[in-house]
Structure 1
Amino acid sequence: MNSFRFIHTGDIHLDSPLKGLSGQDGAAADRIRTATRAAFHNLITRAIEEEVAFIIIAGDLYDGDWRDYHTGLFFVKQMGRLAKAGIGVFLLYGNHDAESQITRRLVLPENVNVFSARKPQTFRRDDLSVALHGQSFKQRDVTDDLVPAYPALIGGLFNIGVLHTGLGGMGGHANYAPCTLDELVNKGYDYWALAHVHQAAVLHERPHIVFCGNLQGRHIRETGQKAASLVTVEDRQVVDISPLHMDVVRWVHLVVTVDHCTHTNDAIDAIRKAIEHQVASESEGRLLACRIELTGRTEIHGQLLASEEYLIAEARAAALGIGDEAAWIERVVVSTIDPSSTALRMDALGDLQRMIGSAAEDTTLRAQFESELGDLVRKLPHDVRGDVEDVILKAAIDGDYVSLIAQVGDYLTARLATEGV
Structure 2
Amino acid sequence: MASYSFLHAADIHLDSPLVGLRARGDVPEAVLRDCTRRAFSAMVDLAVAEQVGFVVIAGDLYDGNWKDFSTGLFFAAEMRRLGRPCFLLRGNHDARSVITRALRPPANVREFSSRTCESFVLDELGVALHGHSFPNRAVPEDLSAGYPAPHPGRLNIGVLHSSAEDPGEHETYAPCSVAALTLKGYDYFALGHVHERRVLAERPWVVFPGNMQGRHARETGAKGCSLVRVEDGRVVAVTHRVLDVVRWVALEVEAGDDAVLLRQRITQAVRSAAAACDARPMLARLTVTGESGLALDAEQLAAECRNAAIEADAALWVESVKLRVRGAAPLEAELLAPLHEAFAAGLDDPALRAALLDDLAALRQRLPAAARVGLDLPEVEDGLRALAGEAWAIAAGLLRP
TM-score interval, smaller chain: 0.7 to 0.9
Aligned-pair CA distance for 1:370: 6.5
The answer on whether the counterparts of 1:374 and 1:399 sit within 8 Å (CA) in structure 2 is: no
Tell me the TM-score normalised to structure 1 length: 0.83
Alignment partner of 1:290 is 2:284: yes
For 1:242 and 1:375, locate their aligned partners in 2 and report how far apart those are by CA, in whole Å. 39
- Counterpart residue number, 2:90: 93
Change (3 A) 1:104 1:313: farther
- Counterpart residue number, 2:2: 2
Change (3 A) 1:342 1:114: farther
Alignment partner of 1:312 is 2:307: no
The answer on whether the counterparts of 2:8 and 2:209 sit within 8 Å (CA) in structure 1 is: yes
- Counterpart residue number, 1:415: 398
Where do residues 24-103 of structure 1 align in structure 2 (5 Å cutoff)?
Answer: 24-25=24-25, 30-83=30-83, 87-103=84-100
Aligned-pair CA distance for 1:413: 2.9
For 2:125 and 2:81, locate their aligned partners in 1 and report how far apart those are by CA, in whole Å. 21
Aligned-pair CA distance for 1:373: 5.5
Aligned-pair CA distance for 1:356: 5.0
Gaps of 5+ in 2: none
Q: Percent identity?
A: 40
Alignment partner of 1:199 is 2:186: no
The answer on whether the counterparts of 2:267 and 2:308 sit within 8 Å (CA) in structure 1 is: yes
Which of 158, 161, 166 matches 1:164? Answer: 161
The answer on whether the counterparts of 1:360 and 1:406 sit within 8 Å (CA) in structure 2 is: no
For 1:405 and 1:186, locate their aligned partners in 2 and report how far apart those are by CA, in whole Å. 46
Change (3 A) 1:9 1:170: farther
The answer on whether the counterparts of 2:57 and 2:89 sit within 8 Å (CA) in structure 1 is: yes
Q: Choose 1 or 2 for highest CA Rg.
A: 1
For 2:350 and 2:77, locate their aligned partners in 1 and report how far apart those are by CA, in whole Å. 61
Residue 295 of structure 1 aligns with an amino acid whose one-letter code is T
Residue 129 of structure 1 aligns with an amino acid whose one-letter code is G
Aligned-pair CA distance for 1:227: 2.2
Aligned-pair CA distance for 1:147: 1.5
For 1:159 and 1:404, locate their aligned partners in 2 and report how far apart those are by CA, in whole Å. 47
Aligned-pair CA distance for 1:258: 2.6
Q: Relative to structure 2, which stretch is displaced further, 33-42 or 73-82? A: 33-42
Change (3 A) 1:372 1:73: closer
Residue 4 of structure 1 aligns with an amino acid whose one-letter code is Y
For 2:325 and 2:383, locate their aligned partners in 1 and report how far apart those are by CA, in whole Å. 21
Change (3 A) 1:385 1:46: closer
Q: SS at the partner of 1:18?
A: coil
Q: Relative to structure 2, which stretch is displaced further, 51-60 or 31-40? A: 31-40
Change (3 A) 1:157 1:413: closer
Change (3 A) 1:363 1:95: closer
Q: Relative to structure 2, which stretch is displaced further, 337-346 or 223-232? A: 337-346
Q: SS at the partner of 2:291?
A: coil
Alignment partner of 1:389 is 2:353: no
The answer on whether the counterparts of 1:29 and 1:328 sit within 8 Å (CA) in structure 2 is: no
Change (3 A) 1:8 1:276: same
Residue 333 of structure 1 aligns with an amino acid whose one-letter code is K
Equivalences, count: 399
For 1:401 and 1:145, locate their aligned partners in 2 and report how far apart those are by CA, in whole Å. 33
Alignment partner of 1:187 is 2:184: yes
Q: After superposition, give the CA deviation of every residue in 1:287-334 in whole Å (9 maximum; x if it has no partner).
A: 22221111222210xx11xx22332244334434544x6222222211
Change (3 A) 1:41 1:340: same
Change (3 A) 1:286 1:332: same
Aligned-pair CA distance for 1:414: 1.3
Q: Relative to structure 2, which stretch is displaced further, 402-411 or 208-217? A: 402-411
The answer on whether the counterparts of 1:152 and 1:187 sit within 8 Å (CA) in structure 2 is: yes
Q: SS at the partner of 2:366?
A: coil
The answer on whether the counterparts of 2:325 and 2:390 sit within 8 Å (CA) in structure 1 is: no
The answer on whether the counterparts of 1:161 and 1:189 sit within 8 Å (CA) in structure 2 is: yes
For 1:110 and 1:381, locate their aligned partners in 2 and report how far apart those are by CA, in whole Å. 40
Residue 121 of structure 2 aligns with an amino acid whose one-letter code is R
- Counterpart residue number, 1:377: 363
For 2:49 and 2:34, locate their aligned partners in 1 and report how far apart those are by CA, in whole Å. 23
Aligned-pair CA distance for 1:162: 0.6
For 2:167 and 2:343, locate their aligned partners in 1 and report how far apart those are by CA, in whole Å. 40
Q: After superposition, give the CA deviation of every residue in 1:381-413 in whole Å (9 maximum; x if it has no partner).
A: 4846685315xxx48x97999987776554233
For 2:111 and 2:86, locate their aligned partners in 1 and report how far apart those are by CA, in whole Å. 8
The answer on whether the counterparts of 1:298 and 1:339 sit within 8 Å (CA) in structure 2 is: yes
For 1:331 and 1:282, locate their aligned partners in 2 and report how far apart those are by CA, in whole Å. 20
Aligned-pair CA distance for 1:207: 2.3
For 2:332 and 2:344, locate their aligned partners in 1 and report how far apart those are by CA, in whole Å. 8
Which of 114, 127, 136 matches 2:111? Answer: 114
The answer on whether the counterparts of 1:343 and 1:353 sit within 8 Å (CA) in structure 2 is: no
Q: After superposition, give the CA deviation of every residue in 1:43-71 in whole Å (9 maximum; x if it has no partner).
A: 10111111111000000111112222222
